[in-house]
């Protein structure tokens, strides 16, 4: 059964009341919509970052909601606490290489963001290096200078403080670098220092690993190749461990060989002593027999002489 429709009747002579809409319409511009979208995206990214930083569960066992842990931004005092090196521009290729290595280590320890790397690093420049950097900043703006990638700054400083002739010399040294004797540790250190300055020789990490393994001695070269290391760190660790085992095994063999040799020498030294003792004993026995014979001979001579004397006296 269809529901009855309710109608309202007007009294005769009454004027109908106009129906007005009580809702107000608010116009929203495209910019406002985009702003709301951006705000929602920012909130979602912040929640995701908080989860990555270790807050996998926002609720505890009691059901209470845990506070979201936000990653602490690295400040310049935090950066200085890691004791970065200063660079004056007069340290040469080795000094610049050490500055690069230390700076990248400080970035990792202090959790320095990419946006602050060049800004913080250039604060450690002194002397000629600081003058060079200030001259570069004047050609652009401080914001643009600090926004450059760390790799770009490394290339600029390499071009400035490592002339092309020195780089070619380093590349030649890198090309002919090999392990001297069994000293893998020194080889690894030299290789890493040269690789920083000769990065154009190794477009990929695999190229660097291949060159490093190629400079290893034959006794461990094949074993390191068989592991197929993907990074320089893996190759260096395995080569060092393998060489240590080889050296330890060789030292044990040498110690065992020396012990056997010493035992043989000691045994050979004891044999002549026993022979001499036997000779001495036999010699003493011979001398005793000879002496005893002489005594008997002397005793026999005296007896015969006495008998002759008595016979002479009787005849007289």
- Tens digit of each residue's pLDDT (9 = 90 or more) over 142-198: 999 999 999 999 989 988 988 778 888 888 999 999 999 889 999 999 998 888 778
Residue 316: per-residue pLDDT: 47
Does this model's pTM top 0.85? My answer is: no
Indicate the average pLDDT of the chain. 76
Residue 104: per-residue pLDDT: 93
Residue 54: per-residue pLDDT: 46
> What SS3 state is found at 186?
helix
Residue 281: both structure tokens together:
């004993």
φ, ψ dihedrals at 281, nearest 5°: -65, -45
- Tens digit of each residue's pLDDT (9 = 90 or more) over 242-260: 999 988 887 788 888 887 7
Residue 146: per-residue pLDDT: 94
Helix (H), strand (E) at residue 258: helix 232-315
pLDDT for 290 beyond 70: no
Handedness of CA 72, 77, 80, 81 (dihedral sign): negative
Greater confidence, 132 or 22?
132
- Angstrom distance (rounded) from CA 240 to CA 167: 28
Rounded average pLDDT over 107-115: 92
Handedness of CA 246, 247, 250, 251 (dihedral sign): negative
Residue 12: per-residue pLDDT: 52
**How sure is the predictor about 203, in pLDDT bands with cuts at 50, 70 and 90?**
confident
pLDDT for 112 beyond 70: yes
Residue 265: per-residue pLDDT: 77
- Tens digit of each residue's pLDDT (9 = 90 or more) over 84-105: 999 999 988 888 988 998 999 9
* Count, residues in the chain: 316
Residue 21: per-residue pLDDT: 47
Residue 287: per-residue pLDDT: 58
Contacts of 184 (CB under 8 A, 6+ apart): 216, 220, 239, 240, 243
pLDDT for 26 beyond 80: no
Rounded average pLDDT over 229-237: 92
Dihedral, CA of residue 127, residue 132, residue 133 and residue 137, to nearest 10: 140
């Amino acid at each position: 059964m269809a529901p009855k429709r309710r109608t309202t009747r007007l009294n005769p002579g009454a004027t109908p009341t106009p129906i007005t809409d009580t809702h107000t319409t608010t116009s929203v511009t495209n910019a406002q919509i985009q702003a709301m979208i951006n705000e929602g995206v920012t909130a979602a990214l912040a929640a995701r970052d908080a989860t990555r930083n270790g807050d996998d569960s926002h609720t505890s066992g009691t059901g209470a909601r845990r506070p979201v842990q936000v990653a602490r931004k690295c400040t310049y005092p935090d950066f200085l606490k890691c004791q970065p090196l200063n660079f004056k521009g007069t340290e040469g290729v080795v000094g610049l290489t050490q500055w690069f290595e230390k700076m990248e280590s400080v970035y990792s320890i202090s959790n320095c963001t990419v946006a602050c790397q060049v800004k913080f690093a250039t604060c450690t420049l002194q002397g000629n290096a600081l003058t060079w950097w200030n001259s570069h900043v004047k050609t652009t703006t401080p914001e643009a200078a600090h926004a450059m990638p760390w790799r770009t700054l490394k290339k600029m400083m390499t071009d400035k403080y490592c002339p092309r002739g020195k780089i070619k010399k380093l590349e030649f040294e890198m090309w002919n670098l090999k392990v001297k004797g069994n000293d893998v540790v020194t080889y690894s250190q030299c290789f890493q220092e040269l690789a920083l300055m000769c990065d154009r020789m190794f477009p990929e990490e695999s190229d660097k690993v291949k060159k490093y393994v190629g400079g290893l001695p034959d006794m461990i070269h094949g074993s390191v190749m068989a592991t197929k290391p993907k990074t320089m760190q893996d190759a260096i660790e395995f080569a060092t461990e393998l060489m240590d085992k080889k050296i330890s095994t060789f030292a044990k063999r040498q110690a065992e060989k020396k012990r056997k040799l010493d035992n043989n020498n000691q045994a050979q030294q004891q044999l002549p002593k026993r022979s001499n003792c036997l000779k001495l004993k036999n010699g003493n026995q011979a001398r005793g027999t000879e002496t005893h014979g002489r005594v008997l001979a002397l005793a026999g001579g005296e007896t015969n002489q006495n008998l002759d004397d008595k016979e002479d006296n009787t005849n007289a």
